[in-house]
Amino acid sequence: MKNLNIPAFRLHQQNIIKSRFDTPQYLVAYMGAIQAQDYPMSKFAIGLRLPNATDATIEAALDAGELVRTHVLRPTWHIVSGQDVRWMLALTGKSIKASAASRDRDLGIDAALYAKTNDLIVKALEGGKNLTREEIMQYLEQHGVATNSSLAVHFMMNAETDAIVCNGKMRGKDITYALMDEKVPKGLDLSREEALATLAERYFTSHAPATVHDFQWWSGLNMTDAKKGLESIKNQLNTVDFNGKTYFFSKNHDYTEGVESLFFLPAFDEYTVSYKDRSTIFDPIWHKEAITSNGIFKPIIVANGKVVGIWKRTIAKNKVVVEPSFFSKTDALPPETIQKVMQKFGDFLGLSVQVKI
């Protein structure tokens, strides 16, 4: 494929143009992971890739342990399949801990303190409890461990990467934690070599075309392991060279050219966040409009694979107000077109949609 349309191919492989799954767990397993520090938007990132999904159906999958929100891959939250979470953490947990080591020392945290806090966190949550981070910190304080907001972040992230805790059930707007072994059924048991190959296969199928540097960025692995994972599945992949880079994609794709498209994608969507090089989807002058200097990925408007604007939403009592902002007047769309495109978002939330220009 000498003239591969990389943006259009990615929209297809990421299940945005064409939905090929009917359950949240199967979709997320296919994707490998969905970045999820913006929790409401991450649920829509899953929902827009499924037919007839709602916020409630994604929430139910998280409550049931079919999906898990935790720190995995790069040191940020992702949603992954419950079948995959343990082998992924076994593969990436060490690098996540290493990224926190310097700050651990600044905070006076050592291995003995982490062992103590892990033990106390288990005691606080055992028996099916779902507690907020603040409630867990109160328990630690009652048992002789000093806490503050910075320590709390590190204590809980360490417990997540040790596969001790994961998301609990939402309590209104408050996020809670639960014990992973009480909530999430045992899943796949992979060796390190199998895990590297599986993670690479998931990425280069669902996010293709992509480079090894994209995979290294997305996974948080070191480059040696990223190359090892890619090498183990190369016989499943084709390649194309573009602007001096080699892109890999699955031989078993069913992508075809010629589909015009328009999407309003959520904040931190995999379409932007999962690649180190985003030049194929951004005009360079607009990159900073959608991605801030401190790494905040705004909700984006994507026309035929190219990012042409950003949008924000405001939730009211019975409606969601959508405000688009196009980078160029030539890309602006009439309200009725936006209304039609955003109806999926309204249906996902169970609200009517109002477009505000």
pLDDT at 243: 87
pLDDT at 253: 77
DSSP state, 257?
A: S
Q: Could you read off the pLDDT tens digit of each residue along the chain, which spans 357 residues?
A: 556 789 999 999 999 998 889 999 999 999 999 999 999 999 999 999 999 999 999 999 999 999 999 999 988 999 999 999 999 999 999 989 998 999 999 999 999 999 999 999 999 999 999 999 999 999 999 999 999 999 999 999 999 999 999 999 999 999 999 999 999 999 999 999 999 999 999 999 999 999 999 999 999 999 999 999 999 999 999 999 988 999 999 888 777 676 789 999 999 999 999 999 999 999 888 989 999 988 999 999 999 999 999 999 999 889 999 999 999 999 999 999 999 999 999 999 999 999 998
Do 219 and 73 contact (CB within 8 A), yes or no?
Answer: yes
Task: State the SS3 of 46-61.
Answer: HHCCCCCCCHHHHHHH
Do 301 and 324 contact (CB within 8 A), yes or no?
Answer: yes
Do 274 and 35 contact (CB within 8 A), yes or no?
Answer: yes
Domains (range + CATH), the chain: 85-186 (1.10.10.10), 190-250 (1.10.10.10), 262-355 (no CATH)
- Global pTM reads 0.95
Bridge partners of 338?
none
Do 41 and 266 contact (CB within 8 A), yes or no?
Answer: yes
pLDDT digits (tens, 9 = 90+) for 41-82: 999 999 999 999 999 999 999 999 999 999 999 889 999 999
Comparing CA positions, the residue from 236, 240, 234 lying closest to residue 250 is: 236
Do 192 and 66 contact (CB within 8 A), yes or no?
Answer: no
CA dist., res. 73 & res. 54, Å (int) = 26
Q: Read off φ and ψ for residue 311, nearest 5 degrees.
A: -145, 160
CA dist., res. 342 & res. 235, Å (int) = 40
Contacts of 161 (CB under 8 A, 6+ apart): 71, 72, 89, 93, 96, 97
Burial per residue of 208-236, b for 16 or more beta-carbon CB atoms within 10 angstroms, e otherwise: bbbbbebbbbbbbbeeebbbbbbebbeeb
Burial per residue of 86-104, b for 16 or more beta-carbon CB atoms within 10 angstroms, e otherwise: bbbbbbbbebbbeebeeeb
**C-alpha separations of 22 from 15, 79, 99, 321 in Å:** 11, 17, 36, 28
Query: What single string gives the DSSP state of each residue in 121-138?
Result: HHHHHTTT--EEHHHHHH
Residue 312's SS3 state is strand
The token duo for 90 is 């076994």
The token duo for 66 is 């079919």
